Chain A
Amino acid sequence: MAKPVLTRESFLGGYKRTFESAELVEATGLSLVFVAEPLGGRSELERALAGKFGLRLPAPGASSLSDDGKARMIWLATGQFLIVFESGEFPETRRIAEELGDSAHVGEQTDNWVGLRLSGAAAEEALERICPVNIAKEAFPVGGVARTAMEHMGAIAIREANDGFLLLSSSSSAKSFLHAVQTSLENIH
């Protein structure tokens, strides 16, 4: 008998659709790594992150890019962060955990989340229908991060570019989340 081999499936089957003035794409290749700061260990964590990965801890509501620009570290909660990158372009969870050692608590988060990239001139207008936080550019500049709820689903919104957002939400409700964003795009004029 052939050896069992698991097939990897993305949560939304690699969804991609172009709307008038916007595009919505499933971010299928993301890796997400949870990094938490041990009590009283901020400076040590900062040193280790900068020295080994070129990363800096972002302020609340913000994110920071690694020196090579390949990973974005986003603020999650007090002392908790998420490193977001395209799989293969940055060290994966196990290596990050090993390199940071006792200076951080590290966990794998990739499959907890579904990622949607929403871009284009209509992106903000569409998000306005479901995102309770102020995502106007003045209040939410490039690099801004908001943890919020959209249509009853916990979500993280990250402004990656002037007209580009990465939206993360629970993978189990990926289809409902897609439906929420897609409906917003369909509903705007």
Chain B
Amino acid sequence: MTQRNRIEGGLVDRSTTLRFSFNGKRMEGHPGDTLASAMLANGQHLMGRSFKYHRPRGVLAAGPEEPNALVTLRAGALAEPNTRATTTELFDGLEAMSQNHRLSLEFDLMAVNDFLSPFLSAGFYYKTFMWPKSFWEKVYEPFIRSSAGLGALSGEPDPDSYDKGFIHCDILIIGAGPAGLAAALTAGESGASVVLADEDFKIGGRLNAETHLVDDQPGADWAHAAAERLEAMNNVRVMTRTTIYGAFDHGIFGAIERRTDHLPDSGGKPRQILWRIYSKRSILCAGATERPIAFPDNDRPGIMLAGAARAYANRFGAAPGNRVAVFTCCDDGWRTASDLAANGIRVSAVVDTREGASAPSIPGAISKLGDAIVATRGRKRLTSIKLRSGGWIEVDCLAVSGGWNPNVHLSCHLRGRPTWRPDIAAFVPGGSIPPNMRVAGAANGDLKLSDAVSGGRAAAAEASGDLGFRPRLEEEIKSSDELAGIEECWSVRNASGRAWVDFQNDVTVKDIDVSAREGFRSSEMLKRYTTAGMATDQGKTANVVALALLAERTGKSIAEAGTTIYRPPYTPVAIGALAGRSRGKDFRPVRLTPSHRWAASQGAVFIETGNWLRAQWYPRPGETHWRQSVDREVLATRRSVGICDVTTLGKIEIFGRDAAEFLDRVYANGFKSLAIGKIRYGLMLREEGIVYDDGTTARLGERHYVMTTTTANAVLVYRNLEFARQCLWPDLDVHLISITDGWAQFSVAGPNSRDLLRKVVEPSFDLSNESFPFMACAETTAFGGVTSRLFRISFSGELAYEIAVPARYGNSMMDNLISAGREFEATPYGTEALGVMRVEKGHFAGNELDGRTTARNLGLGRMVSKKKDCIGGVLSERPALNRADAAKLSGFKPVDKSEALTAGAHFLSKGQDATMDNDQGWMSSVAYSPTFGHSIGLGFIMNGGGRRGETVRAVDFVRGKDVEVEIVSPHFYDPEGERQRG
């Protein structure tokens, strides 16, 4: 098909031909075309099917407000549904498919809905599908859902990449039409840093679609020259293809920049960039959107907005039709008639609802004043229109103008509510618009070009003046001053047939009548009951008409009836763009332990603990089940020596003259008496007295301590300590800095740990029990002079040490320790063996510190010192937390040793029903103990300390288990602690 409707003029580059297809039909266009303009040039008016009634639809608009011409762009995994043909920049090889039909676009089986329309009006599914009740979920709803909707997702992962970024500027100007360009020139020349963003690929806004003169040159030429001037300014950033989609707090705006959507291939670069723009001032110059008039069958392909019709002719060189009529209630409609006629397009009639309209002469056209259109014909393309005054006129295009609505959207995003301006019959930004935002041009209701230009300049002068810049306003920008008279006309009355208000959601005047009649009379109720304005176009062409009709029906003025407001995004944003790079393994950063490379080379199985990857166990050849590896690691450690990377535990260096006092206040137990070279175990409470973390603190010097925290709470503890230091006790001399990443710290545990360390630690350092007993610490050197820290602490219950060297040596230290430990069969162990040994030893961990347990529950009630105050100390005294029968940490072993225990089981006395009333506590951690040869568990049971030897049931409904267990001491292994002290 050739471009039979391509006419002279416009801003397309005819020297290059682009080939594209629509539903497989091959067509041609030019750079500068949108998909919609190219389809019109090719004579393709039928572009889609409507949402509910599957009515044939053509293009209504020429911009982002388009409700009808929604297509699926590209194919396969790259397919993007619901793309507006009016904003899709044409590229060579573009493939587009129409949506929302069964069989073909021309013959849609679902068009039967159109005949069923009497049953499908507003709220139909609340009323129609009432019986039988059980059919709603299984039959009706699935059917309605599969019938409704627009395009479909590919169901495959999005192969495109996306990025995001941050831009800072003094003044953000939203929209590069006449007001935006004038504002940008003024602000840019003042020296302020300016971002000028426009969603179009061509700067100029409506100037590109009109024949106005600015500074004695065509508006599009002036816009082009202005853009060049702005591009030359170092302090101005001009962003095309960039939609400012949301206004947020503190002058922050969200923007989507479409980087490669207009290219056949992204070339591996991000398709879109989500920008967060930080502005000190913003100027909203978003223009205005034309609205239709509701009259019977006003949705046929070929009926479009008057401004769009002339945009296709003036900007794109595409004739919207060959015999055109204009239907208007404002002066702007006449501009379409004269522009089309000037482009050589036959204008058959201009119908103006106003009796006294000043009617310019349009060659060849009849003028009908005080008249209206009451019917149309043509199923897949408009063929004729009927006038109220009588008679049918044959036309293939009808250009409709019901007036223009300022694009107030972004002014509403922080709850600003637009106000009604009767003189232009439209809502303008009002109420609380975002702080530091100004609105200029048509967006502010200044619909005439000269007002838009001067408004833009004034807003920019104020904004830059606010920020201390000196705007220059001496150069006037000359522009024409066109007529902009209007008399409200929302719908044609006393005409039979369905008249569309919201084209995308198929809402008609009748639906609004139903809503008003049935009591849904506020603007918010109307929206939800009829779905007017709830489609992906957010009712850009529909809302005001719907609200005005509601006002009419309820006998209120539009100002009284009020309006709904908009929220972000202004136009749809791809979820992929919001996700940005945060996909797959890049979702969050990964933290690696210093021995990670070594562990990976040993085939370790890793587990995510927060952002960390930790070795869970190290399988050996022949081991086919994780338990074999873990049991071996536990037994080897208890028998000889095991090595575990414990770098992930939080390490906080604490300095200061008052560090001891500080520790005394943040830990429940006392720290003032801790001597240099010693370590103490400490318990931290939340303010309300619940235990939230435990760890150790070593005193390395007079004013120097090192605290360890659990891996999970490393950041939380650090944050809490900073809060305490900076806000609670700024009078203390204390400084904190994290050293978690700085030191590779490994646990060396087992009876041979001392002998192994003797081989690597500085020979002069005395590791004997007398010189370096349990809970001692020291700074020394190891491995031939490397600075190291030694801590004699034990989580396994064995004689154990933790040795730390600077992280850069960590990988090598693991290798060296294993080599040096070969004679002891030193075994690396992972977090699973670590967990088994701590359960055997009876140490509590994260499972036990679940945000409900007190020190008393943990059997450490006496650690909460009464001699001093500490965070959480006072509230830990509450009677309810100190009941005599409080649940207490206990050990549990199965009566039948072959039974496996499960964490989460609840304890019941034998013979009692499994009800909440009889619940006595819960199992928090379990492990198979290779040391004892059976399953063991830790848990909390009421009055636990006094019930040793008693048998209770451990009932786990989730896993269907009911096991008899004996209550024992939590310290299964070496309860006297002889091994760790030895």
Partners in one complex: yes
**Which residues of the partner chain B approach A172 to less than 8 Å between Cβ atoms?**
591-593, 612, 647, 740-741, 807
Q: Contacting chain B: which of A5-13, A17-25, A57-65, A115-123?
A: A5-13
Indicate if the CB atoms of A187 and B269 lie closer than 8 Å: yes
**Which residues of the partner chain A approach B741 to less than 8 Å between Cβ atoms?**
111-113, 170-172
CA distance A32 to B809 in the complex (A): 17
Indicate if the CB atoms of A110 and B742 lie closer than 8 Å: yes
**Which of A6, A11, A174 has the most B CB atoms < 10 Å from its CB?**
A6
User: Is A85 part of the binding interface, using a Cβ–Cβ cutoff of 8 Å?
Assistant: no
User: Restricting to B841-862, which residues have a CB under 8 Å from any CB of A?
Assistant: none
Indicate if the CB atoms of A129 and B164 lie closer than 8 Å: yes
CA distance A113 to B593 in the complex (A): 14
Of B161, B163, B270, B589, the residue contacting A177 (CB under 8 A) is B589
User: Is A71 part of the binding interface, using a Cβ–Cβ cutoff of 8 Å?
Assistant: no
**Which residues of the partner chain B approach A134 to less than 8 Å between Cβ atoms?**
168, 278
Indicate if the CB atoms of A132 and B588 lie closer than 8 Å: no
What residues of chain B have their CB less than 8 Å away from a CB belonging to chain A?
161, 163-168, 193, 259, 269-270, 273, 276, 278, 581, 586, 588-593, 611-612, 647, 653, 655-658, 703-704, 726, 731-733, 735, 737-743, 759-760, 783-784, 786-787, 805-809, 811-813, 816-817, 819-820
Indicate if the CB atoms of B742 and A4 lie closer than 8 Å: no
Indicate if the CB atoms of B165 and A129 lie closer than 8 Å: yes
**Cβ-closest chain A residue relative to B744:** A111
CA distance A76 to B30 in the complex (A): 56
**Which of B586, B590, B658, B737 has the most A CB atoms < 10 Å from its CB?**
B737
User: Is A128 part of the binding interface, using a Cβ–Cβ cutoff of 8 Å?
Assistant: yes
**Cβ-closest chain A residue relative to B587:** A152
CA distance A7 to B656 in the complex (A): 34
Indicate if the CB atoms of B591 and A173 lie closer than 8 Å: yes
User: Is A47 part of the binding interface, using a Cβ–Cβ cutoff of 8 Å?
Assistant: no
Q: Given known contacts A6-B784, A128-B167, is B589 in contact with A176 (CB within 8 Å)?
A: yes
User: Is A175 part of the binding interface, using a Cβ–Cβ cutoff of 8 Å?
Assistant: yes
**Which residues of the partner chain A approach B739 to less than 8 Å between Cβ atoms?**
107-109, 112
16 intermolecular pairs with C-beta atoms under 8 Å apart: A1-B820, A5-B784, A5-B816, A6-B816, A8-B809, A34-B653, A39-B656, A39-B733, A108-B806, A111-B807, A112-B739, A112-B740, A129-B273, A136-B193, A138-B193, A173-B589
Q: Given known contacts A10-B808, A128-B165, A136-B193, is B740 in contact with A105 (CB within 8 Å)?
A: no
Indicate if the CB atoms of A4 and B655 lie closer than 8 Å: no
User: Is A161 part of the binding interface, using a Cβ–Cβ cutoff of 8 Å?
Assistant: no
Indicate if the CB atoms of B655 and A107 lie closer than 8 Å: yes
User: Is A52 part of the binding interface, using a Cβ–Cβ cutoff of 8 Å?
Assistant: no
Q: Given known contacts A128-B166, A172-B591, is B742 in contact with A112 (CB within 8 Å)?
A: yes
Question: How far in angstroms is the closest Cβ of chain A from B195?
Answer: 12
Question: How far in angstroms is the closest Cβ of chain B from A115?
Answer: 12
**Which residues of the partner chain A approach B591 to less than 8 Å between Cβ atoms?**
170, 172-173, 176
Question: How far in angstroms is the closest Cβ of chain B from A141?
Answer: 15
Of A5, A8, A78, A179, the residue contacting B808 (CB under 8 A) is A8
**Which residues of the partner chain B approach A38 to less than 8 Å between Cβ atoms?**
656-657, 733
Indicate if the CB atoms of B581 and A183 lie closer than 8 Å: yes
The 10 closest A-B pairs by CB, nearest first: A105-B655, A176-B589, A39-B733, A36-B735, A112-B742, A134-B168, A172-B591, A111-B807, A4-B816, A7-B812
**Cβ-closest chain A residue relative to B806:** A111
Main secondary structure of the interface of B (DSSP, over half): mixed
CA distance A184 to B269 in the complex (A): 10
**Which residues of the partner chain A approach B704 to less than 8 Å between Cβ atoms?**
105
CA distance A62 to B808 in the complex (A): 29
Question: How far in angstroms is the closest Cβ of chain B from A111?
Answer: 4
**Which of A107, A130, A180 has the most B CB atoms < 10 Å from its CB?**
A107
Of B166, B590, B732, the residue contacting A173 (CB under 8 A) is B590
Question: How far in angstroms is the closest Cβ of chain A from B855?
Answer: 31
**Which residues of the partner chain B approach A133 to less than 8 Å between Cβ atoms?**
166
Indicate if the CB atoms of B735 and A152 lie closer than 8 Å: no
User: Is A131 part of the binding interface, using a Cβ–Cβ cutoff of 8 Å?
Assistant: yes
Question: What is the size, in residues, of chain A's interface with B at 8 Å between Cβ atoms?
Answer: 54
**Cβ-closest chain A residue relative to B647:** A172
Of B611, B732, B811, the residue contacting A9 (CB under 8 A) is B811
CA distance A180 to B259 in the complex (A): 20
**Cβ-closest chain A residue relative to B822:** A1
Chain A 161-189 interface 0/1 with B at a Cβ cutoff of 8 Å (1 = within): 00000000011111111011001100101
**Which residues of the partner chain A approach B165 to less than 8 Å between Cβ atoms?**
128-130
Q: Given known contacts A136-B168, A139-B168, A172-B741, is B590 in contact with A4 (CB within 8 Å)?
A: no
CA distance A34 to B704 in the complex (A): 13
CA distance A138 to B234 in the complex (A): 12
Indicate if the CB atoms of A4 and B735 lie closer than 8 Å: no
**Which residues of the partner chain B approach A184 to less than 8 Å between Cβ atoms?**
163
Chain A 75-111 interface 0/1 with B at a Cβ cutoff of 8 Å (1 = within): 0001110000000000000000000000001111111
Indicate if the CB atoms of B806 and A110 lie closer than 8 Å: yes
CA distance A139 to B168 in the complex (A): 10
**Which residues of the partner chain A approach B586 to less than 8 Å between Cβ atoms?**
176, 179
Q: Given known contacts A39-B732, A112-B742, is B737 in contact with A107 (CB within 8 Å)?
A: yes
User: Is A50 part of the binding interface, using a Cβ–Cβ cutoff of 8 Å?
Assistant: no
User: Is A67 part of the binding interface, using a Cβ–Cβ cutoff of 8 Å?
Assistant: no
**Which residues of the partner chain A approach B735 to less than 8 Å between Cβ atoms?**
36, 79-80, 105
Of B270, B592, B703, B817, the residue contacting A175 (CB under 8 A) is B592
**Which residues of the partner chain A approach B588 to less than 8 Å between Cβ atoms?**
152
CA distance A8 to B820 in the complex (A): 18
Question: How far in angstroms is the closest Cβ of chain A from B518?
Answer: 50
Question: How far in angstroms is the closest Cβ of chain B from A22?
Answer: 16
CA distance A162 to B496 in the complex (A): 72
Question: How far in angstroms is the closest Cβ of chain B from A125?
Answer: 9
Of A9, A106, A111, the residue contacting B742 (CB under 8 A) is A111
Indicate if the CB atoms of B783 and A151 lie closer than 8 Å: no
CA distance A172 to B739 in the complex (A): 11
Question: How far in angstroms is the closest Cβ of chain A from B647?
Answer: 8
**Which residues of the partner chain A approach B168 to less than 8 Å between Cβ atoms?**
134, 136, 139
**Which residues of the partner chain A approach B783 to less than 8 Å between Cβ atoms?**
4-6
User: Restricting to A14-57, which residues have a CB under 8 Å from any CB of B?
Assistant: 34, 36, 38-40
**Which residues of the partner chain B approach A171 to less than 8 Å between Cβ atoms?**
741-742, 807
**Which residues of the partner chain B approach A8 to less than 8 Å between Cβ atoms?**
808-809, 812
Indicate if the CB atoms of A129 and B703 lie closer than 8 Å: no
CA distance A107 to B789 in the complex (A): 14
